[in-house]
Structure 1
Amino acid sequence: MGDTVCRSSRDTEDHEDVRLGRVEGGDPNGFVEVAAVGDLADGQMVGVKVDGERVLLANLGGEFYAIGGICTHERANLDEGALHEGVVYCPLHYSAFDVRSGEVLGPPADKPARAYSVEVENGKVLVSRQYDTSGSRTTKAEDEASGYVRNEPLHRARPWHTRLSDGIDSVAWLQRLTDRVMALLTSARARWVPGWILELLHGRWLGHSLHPALSDLPIGLWMSSLLLYVIGLAHPAAILSVVGTVSAFGAAATGVADLSVAEGHERRAGLLHGLLMSSALIIHTASAAAYYFAGSVPVAIVLAAIGVSITIGAAYLGGHLVFGYGTMVNHTSWPPGPVQWVRTVEETELDATPGRVLSVDAGDKKVLLHRTGEGHISAIHDACSHAGAPLSLGKICDGIATCPWHDSKFRLRDGAVLQGPAIYPQPVFEVRVNDGWIEIRSPA
């Protein structure tokens, strides 16, 4: 078996499609029958319709659970994904949800799925017509197993900047606009924009994201323009305003490219950042026009001041994305890997997996092991350096791992980036085989 054997996460999960049922009628506040107890074996799931809503029904150890059947990230059908040890993985980007509670266990989804109450009567499985609105993430089975449960009060520090950033996620119109814009960007990225242009805009050739570097140009030029206006140097001020406006288009192009591979809160905050910068661009253009075509310096100054104020707000959001959420930073820089040899799995276990690729635990690291066609074993970090996606859930073929979220490609042998949006190579680990066991450690 050589590198030409390809493997996807679907190869390692057991999942059987069951015909989608549809139920109507009954008490609007009660339960409806969706299946018979014998329809689902232990570890199986099925999609059903409850009053037109798609619901995922799963059997775990004889207990039935139901959650919303649509992924909260990209609206894929969860029942078409994989179910493993009580966790369902979205078939599109592998978001992970607990089928017992709907809780998000793994990104890119950042919102839980709705949880529905389930009852079993006379061999029939009944699902509530209304989803649970209590917000509890504890299942009935967990409550019974643990006996008395007391929830302690949760206290969380929320300084002003945290309240501001959290408020972005509660703006309904921004969420709707984000969904539409992301659908357009995702389609454009896949169909119309050549890969080499995307990699140019992301900055893979530079070694880090290009957008932050380019965004400094319009910010600095526009602020300098306002300063020159204030001290009475209107003509050079107008020149700097125009140059800043021109440079803003480069920053905008790279920003849109980075936004197209953002997830969750980063999408919403990133779009708001872009809307503010676009507004600033229009206002600074109007400021220059007021000077050149109307000869009105006071109007140019007022517009420049408004534009700079908006620019500062937008720049703050940009800093929030990079420093608060790690947008486009290297997600494998920390924590460091084990400095001592750590035992992972037996060598025979690696050889028994499809494609001879296996994700293993090495201390607090997830490591992707791979045996090349020449027989050598390599190990790279399993979390994608771009956004932290588990590479082991993506497609692996010909010694190349494809990120399941944004299609970055890495060479398993040495971690090299072969295709963006990832910029940084995957960290590699030293490997040795000790008495039949594969051991790894960070390079010296």
Structure 2
Amino acid sequence: MRQNRALWLLDRLERTPRADSVIETLRAGVRALPLGRGRDALHGRWLGHPVHPLLVQVPIGSWLSAAALDLRPGRSREARLLVGLGLAAAAPAALAGAVDWAELHRQQMRVGLVHAMSNAAAVGLYAASLACRVRGRETAGRAYGFLGLTAVGLGGALGGHMAYRQASGANHAEEVPHVVSPGWHRVGGVEEFPAGTPVRRSVDDVPVLVVRESGGTIHALAERCSHLAGPLSEGTVADGCVRCPWHGSVFRLSDGWNVRGPATAPQPAFDTRIVDGHVEVRLRREDAGRPDADGRETAGAGAGAAQVRS
């Protein structure tokens, strides 16, 4: 069976480094924007997933509706209003997309650059469409509008490729609760976890980050960052949090909560305990905090502290 031509072109685009210098310049510019806490808002940390796909619904829906009205006579005023609405809504959608794009892998950024160029072309065509409509050149306005809609469709296809084939914006820790078996798992002796040092262990082939604080409290989280699977065990630990070394997402050690983006999803957290000098971890589930089979209560949600048993 022959390979899909479009997928072949996209795979080739992912591997082509020709635009990498441009990408690096644009990336530095986006990262340098003085957005403050607004950066996390644009990432969608408050929403629990990227906000860019939500914002693009307004311009796409407006322009698609305008195209439908352009096929009917006597609806030029309404179509003009929808074209203008789409242009106004494109700016925040583009800003959110740029902020996300600047924190992706290089292969994703290569596709994302063409995605942005296609959408920029769509904005230019719709701006020309609106200008023609305002001047009474309805035929030209409709023509520019349909060209703009074509560019939007191409941009949407590239965005879908990034989301579903390249997994940009997806939660890269979502599978952890589905593959870690229930119950306690021994991950090493207490002496193997120096205070304040992130240590990587494995449970059912799932990487787990274990951190022992100076006071003796032990925390455990899924080790692969929910943003793009960065190795948290290579990150830095400070103020009860761990910072991903790849894109700077910060997670609270006690419960895995993402206190700073670009990660929009928290890290799966594990309960911990010490048995005969060994650290054991258990994936934190809804029944956390209930007594063990032997009647002892384990560390519950939001605690993450190891309990000593003998």
TM-score tier, shorter chain, comes to 0.7 to 0.9
Instruction: Provide the rounded CA distance (Å) in 2 between the counterparts of 1:369 and 1:340.
Output: 17
Q: Which residue of 2 aligns with 1:348?
A: 191
Q: Does the aligned pair in 2 maintain the 1:178–1:271 contact within 8 Å?
A: no
User: C-alpha offsets along residues 151-173 of structure 1, whole Å, 9 cap, x if unaligned?
Assistant: xxxxx9833442132131355xx
Does structure 1 residue 429 correspond to structure 2 residue 270?
yes
Q: Does the aligned pair in 2 maintain the 1:228–1:236 contact within 8 Å?
A: yes
Does structure 1 residue 301 correspond to structure 2 residue 135?
no
Q: Which residue of 2 aligns with 1:164?
A: 9
Q: Which residue of 2 aligns with 1:292?
A: 134
Structure 1 pair 158/433, CA: closer, same or farther in 2 (3 Å)?
A: farther
Q: Which residue of 2 aligns with 1:256?
A: 98
CA positional deviation for 1:192: 4.2
User: C-alpha offsets along residues 265-315 of structure 1, whole Å, 9 cap, x if unaligned?
Assistant: 11001111000000000001111111112x121111111111111101100
Aligned length: 282
Structure 1 pair 170/425, CA: closer, same or farther in 2 (3 Å)?
A: closer
Q: Does the aligned pair in 1 maintain the 2:198–2:234 contact within 8 Å?
A: no
Instruction: Provide the rounded CA distance (Å) in 1 between the counterparts of 2:236 and 2:28.
Output: 19
User: C-alpha offsets along residues 330-382 of structure 1, whole Å, 9 cap, x if unaligned?
Assistant: 110014223232221111211xx352431111112111112234422111011
CA positional deviation for 1:235: 1.1
Q: Which runs of 5+ in 1 are unaligned?
A: 1-155
The higher radius of gyration belongs to 1
TM, length-normalised to structure 1 = 0.60
Choose between structure 1 and 2: higher helix proportion. Answer: 2
Q: Which residue of 1 aligns with 2:212?
A: 371
Residue aligned with 1:441, SS: strand
Q: Does the aligned pair in 2 maintain the 1:199–1:421 contact within 8 Å?
A: yes
Does structure 1 residue 313 correspond to structure 2 residue 158?
no
Q: Does the aligned pair in 2 maintain the 1:230–1:301 contact within 8 Å?
A: no
Residue aligned with 1:208, SS: coil
Instruction: Provide the rounded CA distance (Å) in 2 between the counterparts of 1:276 and 1:168.
Output: 14
CA positional deviation for 1:187: 5.0
* Equivalent of 2:49 in 185, 198, 208: 208
Paired residues for 1:322-401 under 5 Å: 322-335=163-176, 336=178, 337-350=180-193, 353=194, 355-401=196-242
Amino acid at match of 1:415: G
Structure 1 pair 358/253, CA: closer, same or farther in 2 (3 Å)?
A: same
Instruction: Provide the rounded CA distance (Å) in 2 between the counterparts of 1:268 and 1:334.
Output: 27
Which of 398-407 and 273-282 deviates more? 398-407
Instruction: Provide the rounded CA distance (Å) in 1 between the counterparts of 2:29 and 2:201.
Output: 34
Q: Does the aligned pair in 1 maintain the 2:235–2:243 contact within 8 Å?
A: yes
Q: Which residue of 1 aligns with 2:36?
A: 195
- The Cα RMSD (Å) is 1.9
Instruction: Provide the rounded CA distance (Å) in 2 between the counterparts of 1:282 and 1:271.
Output: 16
